[in-house]
Structure 1
Amino acid sequence: MRSWMVLLGMGYVFMLWGCWMSYVIFANLWFPPGAEFWLHTFQSWDGLMLPWAVCFVLEHFFLAVLLVFWDAVHSHAMLPVPRMCAATHLLVQECPKVEMGVDELRKSLLVVFGEYLHRVRMREMLPVLQSESGHRYAEYTCVRYVYSEACDAFVLANLCKPEAGEMHRRLRSGGLSEAEAAASQESCGPNSIHVPVPSRLEALACEFSHFTYVFNSIAIWTYVAYTTWNIGLLWLFMTLGSGTYRALGITRPSKKRVSDMARMQKSCVVLREGKFRQLDVSEIVQGDIVQVKGGKDAELPCDGMLISGSLIVNESMLTGEPMPIAKVPVEDVDHYQVHPKSNKAFAGTRIIESRGETEHGGFALLYCTEVGARTTRGELVRMVLFPSSVKFKYNDQLPTVYALMFAKATVLVMLHLFAAHEGSPVVTFLNVTCAIAGTVSPMLPVSLVMGQSVSAKRLTAARGYQIKCLQPGRIPIAGKISTMVFDKTGTITKSTMDLVSVQATQKLDETAHFQPLLWIDGEPESGDVDRPRELPNLLQCAMAVCHTVKQLDDGSLVGNELECAMLRKTNCRITQNAIILPDEEVEIVRDMQFDHQSMTSGVVVRRSRGQLEVFVKGSPDKIQAVACPSSLPADYGATISAHAKANYYALSICHRSLPEKSNSEVGEMSRSELEQNVQFCGLLLFRNEMKREAPQAIQQLKEGDIRSVICTGDSELTGIAIGRQCGIVSGDCLLATVQDHKLVWQDPEEMDMEGLVVGMAGDGGNDCGGLRAAHVGIALSGAEASLVAPFSTGRLEEGSQDDSNGQISLLTIPDLIREGRACLATNLATFAYFIVQAFSLSGLMTTVHVAHNVTIGEWVWLMKDIGFGMIMVFFMTQSKALSCLAKVRPTATLLGARTLLTIASQVLLNWLFFGCAFCVLKAEAWYDPLDPINDISVLPHLWMLKGDNYDGAVCAVCVFVALANTSYVNTYGGNFRRSILQNWGICAASSLACSSLPLLDDISVGGVGECFLGPQVKYWQNHASYLPQAGDSPWLPSPDNGCLPPTATLEHLPLDHLNISTGKGFKVGACIGPNNCS
């Protein structure tokens, strides 16, 4: 491969030398041994540039192939081996994702070919490495794969998922031995994430190895070779400047930030061979017992299960919600069901408090289960380093559009090859290259990214939407949302819940009955408050002990918000293993975490008098299934439904007394045994108030023809009640899909299958799966950004104070959709601009070139590519979103009827304008068609001289008018963007472009300061050719002599001659173009 790179480098040196020699021959520059020597050697400009053109084609062809298919080409240069054990490199090929629901037989040839190229490109060569002990491994996406002789393959190390009893046995045995730790590190690697930060030279090399720069290189070399060095050098400086900025100002600093985020240079205490040892965090291995120490900015070094003590962490890095989470240890029993949410702690989460036994240093102990890139912190780093691609309709259709543009370019190429008479095969080749570059603009995908970047900046503005954006590519997708799914609790409703009432039961004649409601915060109508002492003792105890809440040193509660709300209504204090009530102290014997199968949680306590009691709480329907039927009131179901309809969230409480047992005996009992024969004793009713701005947000979505859906784990009746309050549910009838007497719910992926674009809004807690599955997920959290969603916001409702009691505004949802629609409309506008340019201006320039060998001047060309193609397009992206949502959504298809009709109408109008302009020109009595090459003997390669004529001037006017109007009309406000009058940039730029048209009459449309090569030159040239001093080369005007012919010719055909002046558009004292008369 090095020989290929050397060969390509030599090719670039040869092209540079060839271009320089062309200027030596053309401009008579000195170059050893002299210009005459080189002219004699190559005979002509064509003689030099013909081999240069061959080298140019081969150079860029092989460069493009190597850059796009580097690993594929690299793999073909290696010999395959029959077994993995002999491999020195591994070839990894990613399979493209197969779209569900697509009929394979109906796939077009273009799609099949595109998938084949994708498979070929998605190959990566991995070197096989060897550890100090001789184990072979390879690393892919920062994860280590170890060679297995049994499988003859490189495989992942087994995930560490031991039983709870095994973890405690490991603790009692004193942790891992050094040999076991070394073996574990061999298979899983060190507990570190290696993110290579490229050097400045590497960053530049990586940036300029993209295929886009190959296209830029083709354009630059073409301009320079075509004697328009000024355009070539300007493009070169722009390419080098933008590439250097991207490499050293964006790519390298972002890699450095990710590397800093992944690096953890700290020490920790690990239990090894019965002793606590101080080790670097990189030496932690799976199975280690890690001592968790708190402190300022303390973070967990690995993923693991809490096996001893108590731990409180902040998981805002994962969920986006900066609230403390309490972790509880796994029980020392076999077949214990581990609950990751409450038992597992994750790498990178901040440690708020760590408590443990004295023999363990007073800190909690963690059993390490994952290290390195396989931890949660590692997954975050890998998500940043290897982001998943965002599929969207117009991204998928871009290859088809480029295929159509290449077809158009092929037609132009055929015209240049078979219809034009350009006088030089090299010039024909360069014109063909220019036609392709003008048709297939590399700025098209850049403009799409530019529009998304501008929208992302507006979203994140502190004085704007205040919406953090991790994936700008999803902004235009937000503009196509047709269904918006809302998590109920914490999204539509407030994040806090309040315990407002308790309803106990009592038995009369062996039949259970509900007692009247006991209002804790005041009855809604009368405002009467029932004192907590009036609650039954059993319910008071249940509320105090049946939870997993922890209490910090400052008295604040940490845990499930619902349980914290319940506990705040009790006058108790939480210690390590006990709950202190006003009249007794209750010992916690065993915690029963929330079980996803039974949907219940509970606790076993020992009361002050020594009796053992079990308390179980859960949703009313689940408690109804486990409680003794005799303890349930007859109107249990009706009462629950009534509370749900009144927008109360109900929890049922059960109780059971146990016979005398020791704590160890209770720990050995199964959960089903403990929950057997529990007696229902009452309901806890919570109120979750709706956010103040929720109805306004839902109404805005309705006005934008967006369907809103509530997603909740509460009773469907509670969801309906909230839906009615916020306006999602209207009318008296509901329509649901019922199968087998059950409601059938759909997840976002199923909606995706139906062709819906689904948005999901949640708080980033238990709804993280939906946020990731939706097309557009936004987490309403107070953190800087959320890992679970591409968008997140902490913007408070208007009028809320910036404190913990403020509610995050739901109006950010319509704001995001409005900006998404504006971004999508802008992307389609810039797309239309470049397509109109490709099908209008490239066709115009090819037409006049084929007809008269005329082109636009070099400075006009610069204005077309830079003044319009970059500056005007940038101003097009500055249009802001409309302040309201329209009933329609912008189209997202590049090949739809609406988009094609818009483009076709503009192309047709441009061609009508071109035709009218040339008709007006040809109707003038003084107009005389001029072919610069065949009529006045302009050398074919002198491109800049082919635009200094009437046809070139009209082309320049057409270019300015067409591009200014195209950019302007595609920036109209309409349904999604504000009025164009509020986009001062596009208005000023378009006005400046149009107002400069009269100035074109006072400057040369070709090179600045050059002579105007109108039809007058034909008459002067014909006369000058018969003069005695006439040489082999025909006379052409030069600025050195004021663009005037020899004296004898000027005397014969003076400036006021009919063929020179009045009849041909020349007037003495009012010359067209500089230096064309004295």
Structure 2
Amino acid sequence: MPFLNRHHGYELIEEANCVQEVYSKNRNEVEFTIIGYRRSLKTQFYNIFCFMLLGIPHLIFESFPKLKALRFSKCALEIAEIILVIDNHGQPTLIEMETQSICLLLDLPTNVRYFNYRHTKFIWQPIQRRFVTVDELLSSSTLDALLENTYGLNESEYKIRYDIYGPNKIEVEIKSYWTLLVEEVLNLFYAFQAFSVILWLVDEYMLYAICIILLTIFSSITSLIQTRKQSEALHDLVESSKCHNVSVLRKAPKSKPDIIKIEPVDLVPGDLIVLPPANFILPCDVVLLTGQCIVNESVLTGESVPVTKTALHSGSELYDPETHKRHTLFAGTHMIQTRFYGGENVFARVVRTGFSTTKGSLVKSILFPTPVGLKFYKDSLKFVFFLFTVAVTGMAYCLYLYISRNADLKDIIVRTLDIVTIVVPPALPAAMTVGILYSQERLKKIGIFCISPPRINVCGRVKIACFDKTGTLTDDGLDMSYVIPSKDQQFLDPVTDVSTLDSNSEFVQAMATCHSLTTVDDVLCGDPLDMSVFDFTQWEMEEPGANENARYDMLAPTVVKPPKHSIEKITEPENFEVPFEIGILRQFPFSSTLQCMSVIAKSLQKHHMVAYTKGAPEKIRGMCKPETLPHDYDVKLAEFTARGYRVIAVAYKNLSGKFSWKDAQKVKRDVIEQDLNFLGLLIMQNPLKVETAPVISTLRSANIRTVMITGDNILTAISVAYDCGMLRSHDDVFVLTASNDEVDTRFMLERTGLNRSTDNVVINFDSSHHHIAVDGRTWSKLKYCYPEAVPDLLVKTTIFARFQPDQKAEVVTHLQELDYIVSMVGDGANDCGALKAAHVGVSLSPAEASVAAPFTSKIQNISCIVNLLLEGRCALVTSFAIFKYMALYSLIQFFTILILYRQHSLLGDYQFLFIDLIITTSLAVTIGRQGPPEKLCPQRPPSSLVAAKNVIPLLLQITACALFQLGAMYMLFQQSWFQPIPDDVTEPQIVSWENLVLFTVSCYQYIILASVYSKGMPYRERLRTNYLFVLSAVSLTVFVTWLLIYPCKKMAELMELIATTPDEEEKFMFRVHLLIFPTLHLLIAVSIEAFISDQQWLKRCIQCLKRKSKPKNKYKRLLQQRNTFPWLNTIST
């Protein structure tokens, strides 16, 4: 079995001896890069350096992974000891190379070098001089090859594969509390905390240091418990879908193969397993070789409707789990029951195990989520760097101040380093997550579950909302309106009552047999469309046992038969002993690519088999003989689809009398689905969900663009878009179509209903009344012929119809490339790719544990997207508010400390405790408790912290804080009774008027700014609804006012403040007059936010000064710079 140069999904290309890039086959972009390193003298120097500096360099390297590789020397991959893997998001991972002894195979040496990256094993292939995944070692199998080996693996083959692939297990590691503690503590945050505590202990802030130690321990324990619970929850989810024993066919040397029982963990690709009759959890991905299975895949897709899986057909094409998913049973899914042959087992072949399975891939997407590239997080790092710069400036001032006073070296060091602990708040990272945690809790209460909390903030920036149609905008179920039979190339009158049709007609029998329905616990279930059509026929369905197969060539088929009153009409008396029933011998399941399904059936009253096909009218037309199609086929189709009906075409073909059951099981699908006879149309209604139109209206009012990405007919999709308000009554819709000739690269735009070509149409990009609709075939051809036209198409297209699942994901990805923040709402079945690709993917699923998308909604309509956007905006604004508040809190304390240093004073131990633990903590935590408003506003919240529109008001607030502190000190200096602290004191004096003024004024500032940043509308509820915050702010204000005006003696002593005495009226009045400063500060702080920060004039002024001529978003530039389709003028007819 030779190596493959390509592996399904990936192509590995060696760029240099020490670097290898892993390319995505589908998107032709680098998935990750592999770089080789080995230990050298640098490693030894690093170890010595760490030892000398008490491990501090190690903490820095652990906190900044990109620096880790500096310890090693780059080398060729073939001699590498350490592997650096950098993914396409720039995230680096250092991995130790390992060696394994395996059987000599495929030109591999006995000792194989390999590494594991995110649960994928990469083995060094010395001949090709590159790393290959284990799936590449064994060549991909054709369908015929999978069907040929019916004896299973022998022991030697099994041993080889087990050595290569390893055990079949998806393990979510639950780390011990000790391991979690070490990982938690060994980072820069805790190093900074330890540094701060040591500094405070040296400075004799004993109580404060002890409180911080206790809080840090409490925080660490809470974090450890939370992390452990999350790991246990995911571990339990994985473990819940495990089975105990599996029956495997094992080839014996000289005898028939044996069926043995083994543990699921011992399965390897290539194993032949025997599926039990019912209630079985699949331990790995398998392809069905015989029989049929009914499977519930809700844990993977969110789709709760059972799916019928059929046996793999023969063919020379390569097997692909996605292409052949109707024949593939996926790990973790629940097999409800199997369909038996007479006395035979149902066999399936293992194709993927462990983390290579679909379930494994989904678990990996949770363990290693795609980083959310929100600008806010990058900007917050820039702002922290700014705070460090401020800290360095303050440290320089302290150095100058204390050196000029000839202070002790200890005091100089302690006071200087203390500035860093003040300016950069250690609690900042934790505080920024408060808004997300509250939003996640509120979403959970209304039935929306999130497996990636950082994406909640991304919801606040959504610019375009994409929707699937069936089951999302419309109901799952379909109502049969009527059927239109065809005869002699003419459509007959519509029929609403099936009893008026002859049950012996091919049209009725096609409706009764061409489906994938099954019975589970005596209840008919399956696709809603199939259910609706079958119910319309009023026929009955039976699934006989294995002993009732004699009349059907050893097959136990699904049997359908008309109601009893119809049997009497179609059965002759002399033939009454032969019951009128039809056996379904073979199913060709619905294919998203082919957009149709077929069955092979046989009636006991006929001597030949019949093939029935139903599907998209556009596809069925190409499969039918032209002489059987009505002349007005396209006109009728356009008439019904334009009125919003779901139209299904039906056709049939009589098979030869020599066509046997074995032929039916082996025949290829394309042989059946050609030269068909057209039978008629099924006209169905797919009513809108009640909530759809109001939600679309809400999104439009909020300036969020809405589009539909569906697999349905393009005219039906347009009609639904008009009904739900995605298209308004006065909007023009143009259908873009490509020529049916593969060589012809011309395209045409037609206005729906008017049938006018582009010669009479000018599409105005600036107009919101012009929309384009495109189907999947045209999309693919346009991408191939004119890829530069895709961005132009995307900014004006509202309807994407007849799109296959991979095309849906393509649309989402291309929209993201135009700088749209994209949301996608779907039912989780055919939309999995698009849901995972979107910034905000929402699966409408009753299963809370579904991992089909980052968000899962038990609200089975699109109103969930409004809730998500409201919570996202609320969480994002809250994150901004808390960040600004924490930054200003640090700077306020920074100003206070610098001024007190200048005046030979300090804040006391209890004062620090009161500010940091009582005021700041209580306000920062309660700021995030404000929920979202009831309505979406047209403006999106800001996404950048460092944008001038945000920075200017922030700088004004900082300036106001500094000026009011200086103003209060100036007022103190003007008092005739005031005596400043002498310059010749050797120790800072805490109990002083300078301390009292700055402590109380700064306390008011913390409360004022927290209140200012707790503003409500338009992204949060009004401040008065946040009862805990209001209570905290009012209580703290009253308490600080009491401390300022007339504290009792014991409280004054505890807080190290100057007490008030009754006989000092002048000093008492000074305390009262000091309230002027917080009052004025409140007015100015509110004014800055109300008249500067929240106003558009500031943004316009900044744009004018910057002379911004073009929007920063690509889609906005496209809308501005082009009023027509330049590419269309050259390729349209």
**TM-score, normalising length from structure 1?**
0.79
One of 231, 234, 259 as aligned partner of 1:276? 259
C-alpha change, 1:177 and 1:954, in structure 2 (3 Å) is same
1:621-700 aligned within 5 A: 621-663=618-660, 664-667=662-665, 669-700=667-698
SS of structure 2 residue aligned to 1:947: coil
Q: Cα offset for 1:822?
A: 1.0
Are the counterparts in 2 of residues 302 and 375 from structure 1 also a CA contact under 8 Å? yes
Residue in 2 that maps onto 1:566: 533
Are the counterparts in 2 of residues 818 and 885 from structure 1 also a CA contact under 8 Å? yes
Matched, 1:206 2:183: yes
Residue in 2 that maps onto 1:1029: none
Residue in 1 that maps onto 2:830: 766
Find the aligned partners of 1:494 and 1:658 in 2 and give their Cα distance.
37
Are the counterparts in 2 of residues 603 and 614 from structure 1 also a CA contact under 8 Å? yes
Are the counterparts in 1 of residues 881 and 1014 from structure 2 also a CA contact under 8 Å? yes
Are the counterparts in 2 of residues 135 and 146 from structure 1 also a CA contact under 8 Å? no
Matched, 1:876 2:855: no
Matched, 1:497 2:478: yes
SS of structure 2 residue aligned to 1:531: helix
Matched, 1:218 2:199: no
Between the two proteins, the alignment pairs up a number of residues equal to 910
1:569-648 aligned within 5 A: 569-570=536-537, 571-575=539-543, 576-582=556-562, 583=567, 584-608=580-604, 609-648=606-645
Q: Cα offset for 1:371?
A: 0.6
Find the aligned partners of 1:898 and 1:79 in 2 and give their Cα distance.
46
C-alpha change, 1:135 and 1:964, in structure 2 (3 Å) is same
Residue in 1 that maps onto 2:98: 128
Residue in 1 that maps onto 2:394: 412
Q: Cα offset for 1:544?
A: 1.7
1:898-1047 aligned within 5 A: 898-931=949-982, 934-938=983-987, 946-1001=989-1044, 1002=1047, 1008-1009=1053-1054
Are the counterparts in 1 of residues 876 and 941 from structure 2 also a CA contact under 8 Å? yes
Are the counterparts in 2 of residues 824 and 890 from structure 1 also a CA contact under 8 Å? yes
Greater Cα shift, 565-574 or 681-690: 565-574
Find the aligned partners of 1:705 and 1:141 in 2 and give their Cα distance.
40
Residue in 1 that maps onto 2:548: none
SS of structure 1 residue aligned to 2:878: helix
Code of the residue aligned with 2:930 in structure 1: it is S
1:140-155 aligned within 5 A: 140-155=117-132
SS of structure 2 residue aligned to 1:472: coil
SS of structure 1 residue aligned to 2:612: strand
C-alpha change, 1:396 and 1:711, in structure 2 (3 Å) is same
One of 251, 257, 272 as aligned partner of 2:227? 251
Residue in 2 that maps onto 1:370: 352
Unaligned runs of 5+ in 1: 12-57, 98-117, 521-529, 796-807, 939-944, 1017-1054, 1068-1078
1:441-520 aligned within 5 A: 441-461=425-445, 465-507=446-488, 512-520=489-497
Residue in 1 that maps onto 2:145: 166
Are the counterparts in 1 of residues 841 and 854 from structure 2 also a CA contact under 8 Å? yes
Q: Cα offset for 1:735?
A: 4.8
C-alpha change, 1:6 and 1:896, in structure 2 (3 Å) is closer
SS of structure 2 residue aligned to 1:709: strand
Are the counterparts in 1 of residues 299 and 332 from structure 2 also a CA contact under 8 Å? yes
One of 819, 829, 842 as aligned partner of 2:871? 819
**For each residue in 1:975-1017, what CA deviation from the matched residue of structure 2 results, as whole angstroms up to 9, or x when unmatched?**
0111111111111111111111244253799995587789x9x
SS of structure 2 residue aligned to 1:417: helix
SS of structure 2 residue aligned to 1:996: helix
Find the aligned partners of 1:733 and 1:1064 in 2 and give their Cα distance.
75
Residue in 2 that maps onto 1:707: 705
Q: Cα offset for 1:485?
A: 1.2
One of 152, 175, 181 as aligned partner of 1:175? 152
Q: Cα offset for 1:319?
A: 1.1
Find the aligned partners of 1:351 and 1:233 in 2 and give their Cα distance.
58
SS of structure 2 residue aligned to 1:556: strand
Find the aligned partners of 2:213 and 2:45 in 1 and give their Cα distance.
24
Are the counterparts in 2 of residues 518 and 535 from structure 1 also a CA contact under 8 Å? no
Residue in 1 that maps onto 2:362: 380
One of 330, 337, 341 as aligned partner of 2:312? 330
Q: Cα offset for 1:486?
A: 1.3
Find the aligned partners of 1:1012 and 1:613 in 2 and give their Cα distance.
98
Residue in 1 that maps onto 2:886: 834
Find the aligned partners of 1:319 and 1:252 in 2 and give their Cα distance.
27
C-alpha change, 1:620 and 1:218, in structure 2 (3 Å) is same
Residue in 2 that maps onto 1:29: none
Q: Cα offset for 1:593?
A: 3.4
Q: Cα offset for 1:669?
A: 4.6
Q: Cα offset for 1:271?
A: 0.8
Find the aligned partners of 2:969 and 2:427 in 1 and give their Cα distance.
29
C-alpha change, 1:598 and 1:373, in structure 2 (3 Å) is closer
**TM-score, normalising length from structure 2?**
0.76
1:1061-1072 aligned within 5 A: none
1:16-55 aligned within 5 A: none
SS of structure 2 residue aligned to 1:936: coil
SS of structure 1 residue aligned to 2:288: strand
Q: Cα offset for 1:59?
A: 4.3
SS of structure 1 residue aligned to 2:842: strand
Find the aligned partners of 2:324 and 2:1053 in 1 and give their Cα distance.
73
SS of structure 1 residue aligned to 2:989: helix
Code of the residue aligned with 1:962 in structure 2: it is Q
Find the aligned partners of 2:153 and 2:82 in 1 and give their Cα distance.
33
Larger Rg: 1
Residue in 2 that maps onto 1:101: none
Are the counterparts in 1 of residues 460 and 872 from structure 2 also a CA contact under 8 Å? yes
Find the aligned partners of 2:372 and 2:421 in 1 and give their Cα distance.
28
Matched, 1:185 2:162: yes
Are the counterparts in 1 of residues 296 and 333 from structure 2 also a CA contact under 8 Å? yes
**For each residue in 1:74-112, what CA deviation from the matched residue of structure 2 results, as whole angstroms up to 9, or x when unmatched?**
x6666777563x65x432231453xxxxxxxxxxxxxxx
Are the counterparts in 2 of residues 578 and 585 from structure 1 also a CA contact under 8 Å? no
Greater Cα shift, 914-923 or 311-320: 914-923
Code of the residue aligned with 2:148 in structure 1: it is R
Are the counterparts in 2 of residues 854 and 947 from structure 1 also a CA contact under 8 Å? yes
Matched, 1:550 2:601: no
C-alpha change, 1:213 and 1:555, in structure 2 (3 Å) is same
C-alpha change, 1:532 and 1:499, in structure 2 (3 Å) is farther
Residue in 1 that maps onto 2:547: none
C-alpha change, 1:260 and 1:208, in structure 2 (3 Å) is same
1:791-870 aligned within 5 A: 791-795=855-859, 808-849=860-901, 851-870=902-921
SS of structure 1 residue aligned to 2:862: coil
**For each residue in 1:620-672, what CA deviation from the matched residue of structure 2 results, as whole angstroms up to 9, or x when unmatched?**
11222232222221211111111112221111112222332232345555444
Residue in 2 that maps onto 1:1022: none
Find the aligned partners of 1:1011 and 1:277 in 2 and give their Cα distance.
81
Are the counterparts in 1 of residues 287 and 328 from structure 2 also a CA contact under 8 Å? yes
Identity of aligned pairs, percent?
22
Matched, 1:440 2:424: yes
1:251-400 aligned within 5 A: 251-263=227-239, 264=242, 266-273=244-251, 274-293=257-276, 298-335=280-317, 339-357=323-341, 359-361=343-345, 364-400=346-382
**For each residue in 1:452-479, what CA deviation from the matched residue of structure 2 results, as whole angstroms up to 9, or x when unmatched?**
0111011101xxx221111111112111
